[in-house]
Amino acid sequence: MKKIIFVLAVLIFGLDALAQTPKQVLYNCYYKFSKLNDFKADAAIHFDVPGLNMKQANGKILYRKPNKFRIKLMGIAFLPKQNPFESINGLADTNTYVAVSIGNEKINQVSLEIINIIPLNQGDLITGKFWVNRAENLIYQYELTTRSSGTVMINQKMGEQKIHALPDEIKFTFDVSKFKIPKGIAMDINSAKKKSLDNRKTGTIIMNFAKFVLNKKIKDIEFTEE
């Protein structure tokens, strides 16, 4: 009897999951994340960008629903233009985009469904591609093609805050144009040493998060850039 109930349950929930449209899948991911109002965490940021030579930067990441976001650092840093959580919040209104499931892919032993979205309005986003785990309602990876910044791939490594749809690590991979300052402007004349040119066309920024503080109200002033 127990076996029959189990098989029925698997079939019912399995069929229910299969019955979800791509929009519903994306909405469920948004809904899971939307339960979080505020959070902050320590951030360690690693840079691997052609033309940029800098050590790890440490700071804090602050977020408040729906789109307040800041990476608070002490010194100079180059940061991604995108608020990584803005795209997830953008999935809330399912009437603003078309979603199409285009297949499945296994990334780091996790089976993911690939859903493409095309916005219906003429905003900055041209197209988006999400790698989603239906069972967990989690987005593990997404690729955004925007008018202002080209294509950005965002990988999320889930960890201890998986239940809140918060990653332990976010990796941004983005297009970079060749970095070159005219020697006259850099006043780098008569250089004694020539480095081998870095001809890579993409850069990555990896943010590792720790010490999360969830749903504790963050003051507005903390989001203001100094």
Number of residues assigned to the chain: 226
Nearer to other proteins (CB atom), residue 21 or residue 56: 56
Query: Is residue 51 a contact residue for other proteins (CB under 8 A)?
Result: yes
Nearer to other proteins (CB atom), residue 110 or residue 153: 153
Nearer to other proteins (CB atom), residue 18 or residue 192: 192
Q: Output the six-digit token pair for 138.
A: 């989690």
Query: Is residue 180 a contact residue for other proteins (CB under 8 A)?
Result: yes
Nearer to other proteins (CB atom), residue 18 or residue 187: 187
CA distances for 136 relative to 33, 125, 226, angstroms: 12, 26, 38
Nearer to other proteins (CB atom), residue 57 or residue 165: 57
Query: Is residue 149 a contact residue for other proteins (CB under 8 A)?
Result: yes
Q: Output the six-digit token pair for 112.
A: 């993911």
Choose among 140, 161, 171: nearest CA to 215: 161
Query: Is residue 175 a contact residue for other proteins (CB under 8 A)?
Result: yes
Q: How far apart are CA 68 and CA 40, in angstroms?
A: 12
- Which residues are CB-contacts of 86 (< 8 A; sequence separation ≥ 6)? 67, 69
The single residue among 185, 216, 221, 224 that binds other proteins, judged by CB under 8 A, is 185
Q: How far apart are CA 154 and CA 84, in angstroms?
A: 8
Query: Is residue 203 a contact residue for other proteins (CB under 8 A)?
Result: yes
Query: Is residue 174 a contact residue for other proteins (CB under 8 A)?
Result: yes
- Provide the minimum distance between the beta carbon of 77 and other proteins in the complex, in angstroms, as a whole number: 5
- Provide the minimum distance between the beta carbon of 58 and other proteins in the complex, in angstroms, as a whole number: 10
Choose among 116, 143, 114: nearest CA to 131: 114
- Please count the other Cβ atoms lying within 10 Å of the Cβ belonging to residue 205: 20
Q: How far apart are CA 111 and CA 105, in angstroms?
A: 6
Q: Three-class SS of residue 50?
A: coil
- Which residues are CB-contacts of 35 (< 8 A; sequence separation ≥ 6)? 164
Peptide bond into 66 cis (omega under 30): yes
Window of 35-43, 95-103, 109-117, 193-201 that interacts with other proteins by CB under 8 A = 193-201
Window of 15-23, 107-115, 172-180, 212-220 that interacts with other proteins by CB under 8 A = 172-180
- Provide the minimum distance between the beta carbon of 213 and other proteins in the complex, in angstroms, as a whole number: 22
The single residue among 2, 195, 211, 216 that binds other proteins, judged by CB under 8 A, is 195
Site residues, other proteins (CB under 8 A) = 49, 51-55, 71, 73-81, 149-150, 152, 174-183, 185-193, 195, 197-198, 203, 205, 225
